[in-house]
Homo-oligomer: A and B are copies of this chain.
Amino acid sequence: MNLIEQVKKTKEASLVLGTSTIEVRNKILENIAKSIEENKDKIIEENKKDIQQAEKDNLSKPLLKRLELNDKKINEIVEMVNGVINLEDPVNKILEVMDLDDNLELTKVTVPIGLIVAIFESRPDAAVQIASLCIKSGNGVILKPGKESINTCKLLVELIKESLEKENLSKDNVQLIETREEVNEILKLHEYIDLLIPRGSNKFVKFIQENSKIPVLGHADGICHVYVDKNADLDKAIKICFDAKCQYAAVCNAMETLLVHKDIAAKFLPLIKEKYDEAEVELKGDEETRKIIDIKEAIEQDWKTEYNDLILSIKIVDDAEEAINHINKYGSKHTDAIVTENKETANVFLSKVDSSSVLHNCSTRFADGFRYGKGAEVGISTSKIHGRGPLGLEGLVIYKYILKGDGDIVEDYSSGKKIFKHIKK
């Protein structure tokens, strides 16, 4: 089967899955959880093949760790699928009802987006997670896992396909592609594919964004800021700045640049430096900062850099306005925080900073689907179209309008014979 036929089949299958009941979709997920549990040994066996190959290819330790499945990890996958079962049905939600006139009722209702392609790195659990979220929301999905996990993912997708067929739904709803060439071809199929979800390095996401007309859910950069205002409570500021940088440095919602009001810099900077030194954070500062604490120099490029590591750039600003302008200029519209006891200053910051999440007196690390109470995170979007910020299942649905009449025609309204009532219900 060639790729375009495969894509068409998944699209066709998704139209059927998309109109199935939530009971059926949850039943499929139950089948998946059960069959992963039952096939634990087989999965670990296939995973060992991947591990052996990866060791031959000298994959780095952290990558090997992500790739490896053991008993505990498989239990976690099963638990995750059960978690998705417990989430509310995102489809068939009535968003609005309006009587355009007597017996002419307009309903706005959520429906699946359609056909989704997810391209991700070597974690095989991602394949199950994304497929589960897509099945729950009635979407077809084509998965392209990292080549390192291909044996494991092949088996997992096989189990998912069987789980679909047990409920009389097409196995084509979930497909696997394996090669980079297929990805390049996929990127051109904007006529059939509704949404791309790339997970991976900034460079990789940017490549996808630059090379396809298909809408992309995700973000390339996460250049997040904390601004410590002159009216900050310094204890809170220290706690927040430490958490935002050090709690987990390799993630998109970690702080990359610290902005400090000039009036409190002399007091605050030595205190936070002490904390950062304990965690061995490498600090870089602008000229004013370096008059107060002895650290390396930050250059223009630093303000545009997502370190994804225990490195932080620091800049002293004259006021909140300068902090806001710096963030809107150099940030990535992801997540930015202010620390201040002045509510007015906080509100100006929250309103003027043009980012998907803006925070007052808390750590940037909170910007995450689980912490935002979404149950499952599909991704964090810095796009300003469709979904923005951490996205749960709501990121995998759109809506349609349903209008029910009784022989109604527009001519009656154009001619003035009838008049619209437009009553919201």
Residues of A participating in the B interface, judged by any CB pair closer than 8 Å: 15, 18-19, 98, 100, 104, 106, 111, 113-114, 194-195, 209-210, 213, 215, 233, 235-236, 239-240, 242-243, 247-248, 328, 346, 350-352, 354-363, 365-367, 371-373, 383-386, 388-390, 398-411, 413-414, 420, 422, 424
Structural contact, A372 and B407, CB atoms closer than 8 A: no
Q: Which residues on B sit within 8 Å (CB–CB) of A111?
A: 354
- A340: min CB distance to chain B, Å: 11
CB closest residue in chain B, given A339: B407
Contact A407 to B354, CB < 8 A, known contacts A106-B372, A414-B247, A420-B373: no
SS of A interface (majority): mixed
Q: Which residues on B sit within 8 Å (CB–CB) of A242?
A: 409
CB closest residue in chain B, given A92: B351
A-B contact pairs, 11 of them (CB 8 A): A18-B354, A100-B366, A113-B384, A195-B384, A233-B407, A357-B402, A357-B403, A358-B401, A358-B402, A360-B402, A389-B400
Structural contact, B410 and A398, CB atoms closer than 8 A: no
Q: Which residues on B sit within 8 Å (CB–CB) of A248?
A: 410
CB closest residue in chain B, given A412: B243
- A390: min CB distance to chain B, Å: 8
Structural contact, A401 and B357, CB atoms closer than 8 A: yes
Contact A351 to B19, CB < 8 A, known contacts A213-B210, A371-B100, A385-B385: yes
Q: Which residues on B sit within 8 Å (CB–CB) of A363?
A: 408-410
Q: Which residues on B sit within 8 Å (CB–CB) of A406?
A: 236, 361-362
- A5: min CB distance to chain B, Å: 15
Query: In the complex, A239 Cα to B420 Cα: how many Å?
Result: 19
Query: In the complex, A351 Cα to B21 Cα: how many Å?
Result: 11
Structural contact, A398 and B385, CB atoms closer than 8 A: yes
Across the interface, A247 reaches (CB within 8 A) one of B362, B404, B411, B422, namely B411
The 8 closest A-B pairs by CB, nearest first: A362-B405, A236-B407, A243-B409, A373-B422, A365-B410, A362-B408, A386-B386, A385-B386
Query: In the complex, A19 Cα to B367 Cα: how many Å?
Result: 22
Across the interface, A104 reaches (CB within 8 A) one of B19, B113, B362, namely B362
CB closest residue in chain B, given A408: B362
Q: Which residues on B sit within 8 Å (CB–CB) of A407?
A: 233, 235-236, 239-240, 361-362
Query: In the complex, A72 Cα to B243 Cα: how many Å?
Result: 64
Query: In the complex, A352 Cα to B411 Cα: how many Å?
Result: 28
